[in-house]
Amino acid sequence: MYRARIISTGSYLPEKILTNFDLEKIVETSDEWIRERTGIRERRIAAPEEAASDLALAASRDALKKAGLRPKELDLIIVATVSGDMLLPSTACILQNKLKIKGIPAFDINAACSGFIYALSVADSFIRSGTYSRILVVGTEVLSRFTDWQDRTTCVLLGDGAGAVVLEKTRKKQGILDVKIHADGSYWELLHIPAGGSRLQTSEKTLRERQHFIKMKGNETFKIAVRTLEKLVVDTLKNNKIKPEELSLLIPHQANHRIIAATANRLGISLEKVMLNLQKYGNTSAASIPIALDEAVKTNRIKEGDYILLEAFGGGLTWGSALIKW
Ligand code: UT7
């Protein structure tokens, strides 16, 4: 029986920093409000010439280098994103071309902030079934292009970045032990971009009405996120017969400090066992977990044999968790 093990991680954050104080000059907000309600202090913004595949390429090269692998040694590329380079083709195909390889399958997954967990789940299934042996999974977002800089309820939350992992098959009882994904489409309107797809064609009207930007009912999303994530983490550990105190690190999607604290509190674990970097990068949607995972690896917060729990919640609504033995 095969399992999928993360053999390396990588990340890329654009250079430009946008602080809460910068935002005070753009919309009616304050550093204090943003910090207290979200935990965010600053976020990164991609350069005008940088698209999702460029961020993905930098994160992928970082992960491949650490794994000591060349791109041609990969079997599959999966990219999780809601802010891909174009509607057509997939960002995964553009990334494949930038990695200077061809032939292997490459596709995108759209599950908003849960995208990375969805992508891990698909990669895990391919490895367990023996179909592929080595898979590159990337979360990349340039949300700043879909951010309404006149809407203070969303523009203070989002940021750009990318994270990547290389998964390899193993016969040991190590790696991804359990990954679960979920959705409830009845809540799709809570977090969406109305125009630009086949529902609402791009027109002068859609541009005028600012319909190409992310719309979120934050407070409703918040309440469902807390309720759902609390149950998700407890069930994931219980189903795998792991006690919260056996967990070395919780790596949550970085949306809101209060949501993360509520989840940790429900598990009865201290915030010291939680990976938090949203103060630096804001909510980078599908990129947030691989970026946080890479930072955890780089700062030696994970060692072999540790139990790590990844969890995410986002537009769709979607949610999911991955329990890993490192
Ligand atoms: O990524 C995965 C999915 N997304 C999430 O998980 C995000 C979930 N939601 C949240 O994180 C929070 O709901 C927010 C941070 C977005 C908002 O926090 P909240 O505590 O739910 O605030 P609220 O939306 O209830 O707004 C409270 C007040 C409102 O004013 P009134 O109506 O009380 O006068 C807002 O207009 O705060 C006001 N407000 C702001 N004030 C200053 C909203 N945005 C801002 C702002 N600066 N940027």
Residues 54 and 134 grouped into a single domain: yes
SS3 state of residue 90: coil
Residues 109 and 231 grouped into a single domain: no
**Type of residue found at 222:** F
Helices 288-298, 52-67: inter-axial angle, 10-degree rounding:
30
Interatomic CA distance for residues 147 and 156, integer angstroms: 9
**Type of residue found at 226:** V
Mean pLDDT of 203-216: 97
Mean pLDDT of 204-231: 97
Q: What is the pLDDT of residue 76?
A: 98
Interatomic CA distance for residues 40 and 119, integer angstroms: 26
User: How many domains are there within the chain?
Assistant: 2
Q: Which of 141, 146, 222 to mutate to test the pocket of ligand 1 (most atoms within 8 A of CB)?
A: 222
Residue ranges lining ligand 1, Cβ < 6 Å: 29, 33, 37-38, 113, 152-153, 156-157, 191, 218-219, 221-222, 225, 255-256, 259, 283, 313-314
| pLDDT over 90 (residue 1) | no
| Among 20, 93, 113, 155, the one annotated catalytic | 113
Closest Cα to atom 24, ligand 1: which residue? Answer: 219
Which residues constitute the domain of residue 51?
3-173
Query: Domain holding 125: CATH number?
Result: 3.40.47.10
Residues 246 and 295 grouped into a single domain: yes
Residues 115 and 192 grouped into a single domain: no
- Domain end, chosen from 157, 173, 189, is at 173
Residues 244 and 127 grouped into a single domain: no
Residues 8 and 154 grouped into a single domain: yes
Of the chain, the end-to-end C-alpha distance in Å amounts to: 18
Mean pLDDT of 41-63: 98
Mean pLDDT of 251-274: 96
Q: Which of 256, 281, 285, 311 to mutate to test the pocket of ligand 1 (most atoms within 8 A of CB)?
A: 256
- Domain end, chosen from 173, 198, 229, is at 173
pLDDT in tens, 5-30: 999 999 999 999 999 999 999 999 99
Q: What is the mean pLDDT of the chain?
A: 97
Residues 147 and 188 grouped into a single domain: no
pLDDT in tens, 115-166: 999 999 999 999 999 999 999 999 999 999 999 999 999 999 999 999 999 9
- Domain end, chosen from 145, 173, 201, is at 173
